[in-house]
Amino acid sequence: MNEIRTAVIGMGNMGSKYAELIAGGKIPGMRLAAVTRVRPERWEKLKGSLPEDFPVYPSADDLYRAVDHGKLKLDAVVIATPHYAHEKQTVDAFSRGINVLCDKPAGVYSRQARQMLEAKKPGLQYAFVFHQRTFPMYRKLRELVQSGRYGNVKRVNWVVTDWYRPDAYYRSGSWRATWAQDGGGTLLNQCPHNLDLLQWICGMPARVQAFCHEGKYHPIQVEDEVTAYMEWENGATGIFIASTGEAPGVNRLELSMDNGLIVCEKEALKVCELDVPEQKYRRESEDLFGKPGGVWKDVECEPGEAPYEIILRNFAAAVRGEEEPVAPGSQAGDSLRLSNAFYLSSWEKRMVELPQPGTPQEKEFEKRFEEWLERKKTVV
């Protein structure tokens, strides 16, 4: 494939960014072929780099109709629309043999992520914009954890409260911070990246107990603060805390390992390496109040690049059959299933087991979550 004819569906903040990167020649081998739902001010910024007859469609449905009638030829779409629309627009693309790169999250219900994956046809590429997977610090952290160099994860502690938002942010769109149109709060808007990284690095928890506080800091329906406790099958435990109402806020991820402590904070990665494995010291030491010694070391990470460009270039390479996607669609449901479990646990006020994909428990989990969310949508 010499040229990947690509449409951007949804020209809000992120869709406009993707369109500008493609139209500006930053993504080799990818050509912007059409856009939908573009505001006049965004069009003024973009149109200078496009032909005069460049097609702009009112909606994704109009764009797909143009494909059906032979008026538009597409190889790929980049979907950057509100969460509830992701499933239909992805399935519609697959039914026409079009490759899909979708912005996070996969949808609102974990069922949507499952059905999107089931709709994918053989030979098509399906990926997500989980661009933080490209950050050198997180890539290095994943490498350290999965290498087994420091043993197993014992405890995870992620406090990510630097997602601060003023009230004006929530007033900027009537759909924002509503159950009916947005589908959730900080878990669904800000934290999909964190939840994706959490399971990408440490694996999926087996069960969670969460407390989602709705409208604690802002006059909104949905949650703006979350505290969640997690358990893994190997005995590891963890805490995840997120908020859009704290300033200055922090973003600190700690992983307590068998043989050390790894800390990510302020784009830096460091590790305290124990001089004796903790388990060995615990069993053999006769010092009643002693503990293993350790040495702190900075972990070198490669310089970071433009993450959105990396994701788009990687997607283009995947369509050409040259690379595997950084965040394949087969993994997109993991972070959504985790956030759904947090919500469900908070609403039911109990610990919730995360189901294995493809099991009867998965569909029961999906049904319970959707029934609860439908009730939340009645909130005025």
pLDDT of residue 42: 82
How many domains is the chain partitioned into structurally?
2
Asked if residue 367 and residue 313 are part of one domain, the reply reads no
pLDDT at 380: 54
**Co-location of 137 and 126 in the same domain:** no
212 plus 258 within the same structural domain: yes
Q: Are residues 42 and 151 in the same domain?
A: no
Within this chain, do residues 321 and 240 fall inside the same structural domain, yes or no? no
Write out the residue range of the structural domain in which residue 247 sits.
133-303+335-376
Do 33 and 144 sit in the same domain of this protein?
no
pLDDT per residue rounded down to tens, the chain (380 residues): 679 999 999 998 899 999 999 999 999 999 999 999 888 888 888 888 888 899 999 999 999 999 999 999 999 999 999 999 999 999 999 999 999 999 999 999 999 999 999 999 999 999 999 999 999 999 999 999 999 999 999 999 999 999 999 999 999 888 889 999 999 999 999 999 999 999 999 999 999 999 999 999 999 999 999 999 999 999 999 999 999 999 999 999 999 999 999 999 988 999 999 999 999 999 999 999 999 999 999 999 988 789 999 999 999 999 999 999 999 999 999 999 999 999 999 999 999 999 998 899 999 999 999 999 999 998 65
CATH of the domain at 39: 3.40.50.720
Q: Are residues 286 and 149 in the same domain?
A: yes
pLDDT at 44: 84
Looking up residue 243, the CATH number of its domain turns out to be 3.30.360.10
Q: Does residue 127 share a domain with residue 138? A: no
pLDDT of residue 39: 81
Look at residue 113 in the predicted model and tell me its pLDDT.
94
The verdict on 200 and 104 lying in the same domain is no
Residues 63 and 143 in one domain: no
Q: What is the pLDDT of residue 1?
A: 60
How would you write the chain as a 3-class SS string?
CCCEEEEEEEECHHHHHHHHHHHCCCCCCEEEEEEEEECHHHHHHHHHHCCCCCCEECCHHHHHHHHHCCCCCCCEEEECCCHHHHHHHHHHHHHCCCEEEECCCCCCCHHHHHHHHHHCCCCCCEEECCHHHHCHHHHHHHHHHHHCCCCCEEEEEEEECCCCCCHHHHHCCCCCCCCCCCCCCHHHHCCHHHHHHHHHHHCCCCEEEEEEEECCCCCCCCEEEEEEEEECCCCCEEEEEEECCCCCCCEEEEEEECCEEEEEECCEEEEEEECCCHHHHHHHCCCCCCCCCEEEEECCCCCCCCHHHHHHHHHHHHHCCCCCCCCEHHHHHHHHHHHHHHHHHHHHCCCEECCCCCCHHHHHHHHHHHHHHHHHCCCC
pLDDT value of position 87: 96
The verdict on 161 and 211 lying in the same domain is yes
Structure tokens at 358: 């493809």
Residues 285 and 146 in one domain: yes
